[in-house]
Each structure stands twice: as C-alpha cells, then as structure tokens.
Amino acid sequence: MKSKRISLIHSSGDENGGTFKPQLTSLIDVMTILLVFLIKSFSVEGNLVTQSDNLALPVSGSKVKPDPVLSLEISRNSLIAEGTILAHNSSFVNSDSMVIPELLNWFSDRNKNEVEKSDNKIMIQSDREIEFNIVKRVMYTCSRAGYSDFSILVIEEG
C-alpha cells in the first residue's frame, strides 16, 4: 500500500494526460530577486575607464566620473604604462634622484611618436597599499614630462 501511495504522488500527472508540472514558484522567486538586483546595477554608460586586474584601488567618496586619459598604473611590484612594465618599484624607491628614468624615457618616446597629448592630464591608478614615496616619484617624473593635471582613480564608496 505504501509503495502504491508513493507512486501515486510521483505520477500525479499521469491521470491528466501524462504531463509533468514542475513547481516553478521558488524559481520565479529567485529570478525576481535577481532581476531587481541586476536592474539596480544596470548602467547605460558603462565604465569608460577600466581598472587593472592586479590593483586594489583605494576607496573614496568622490563622485567625479573618470574620462579616458593617459593612465599610469602603480602595482605593488611595478610601474606599468599602457600594459608595458616600465620599471620595478624596488629599482627606484631608494634612488637619490626623484626622477624615474624609465618613465621619463617612455614619455619622450611617446612624444616622438606624436601621440596626441590629452591636455596635460594624467590619471594614476595606484594600489591602496603602496607607500607615498613611490607615488611621489611617479608624480614628479610626470610633472617633468609636462603633465600637471593629475587625477587618482578610486572605487566609489557605497
């Protein structure tokens, strides 16, 4: 009798023409929650600037949206420009000179190739755990190369 009852439970659709009706209520609940979450994070513009993979950017309350300008990345180990590793941090962090020669050479090569200069603006993507000593040297070298308008890429808080 027990086995017959179980079979009746599992084949309840057989008497209605052999169709199986799965219980979709919980699935629709999940889909609805997912839909609300995705609509909240929906962005028509998207991000004009992409964060580098190997960086943990600092968090800030700033709401100023970034524009695509020349960008330098300072990871925990190296200084990177347009995907190319220019120098390792250890090579210049204790140097007597404030100028990073590799970066200055990269700027001069870039200017020789007549790449359009974007209004002396430069954006620094720096890891949050980097010491200011490294950032300071990068900024100084940038100013020597003619860049005076700086911005820092940060993760928007909240």
Query: Footprint of another protein on this chain (CB under 8 A)?
Result: 1, 4-5, 8-9, 12, 15, 21, 24, 27-28, 31, 34-35, 38-39, 41-44, 46-47, 49, 51, 57-66, 123, 126-133, 135-136, 139, 143, 148-156
CB of 63 or CB of 112, closer to another protein = 63
As measured in angstroms, the least distance from the Cβ of 91 to another protein is 17
Residues 6+ apart with CB under 8 A from 74: 80, 89, 124, 125, 126, 127, 130, 134, 135, 138
Smallest distance from another protein to CB 28, Å: 6
Distances (CA, A) of 66 to 52, 122, 150, 158: 14, 11, 12, 17
Residues 62/156, Cβ–Cβ less than 8 Å? yes
Nearer to another protein, 57 or 99 (CB): 57
Least distance (Å) from another protein to the CB of residue 78? 15
Encoded tokens for 61: 């309350």
CB of 82 to another protein, least distance (A): 18
* CB of 66 or CB of 101, closer to another protein: 66
Cα of 60 vs its chain's centroid, Å? 14
- In terms of Cβ atoms closer than 10 Å to its own Cβ (0-12, 13-18, 19+), residue 158 is exposed
Pick between residue 61 and residue 114 the one whose CB is nearest to another protein: 61
CB nearer to another protein: give 110 or 150: 150
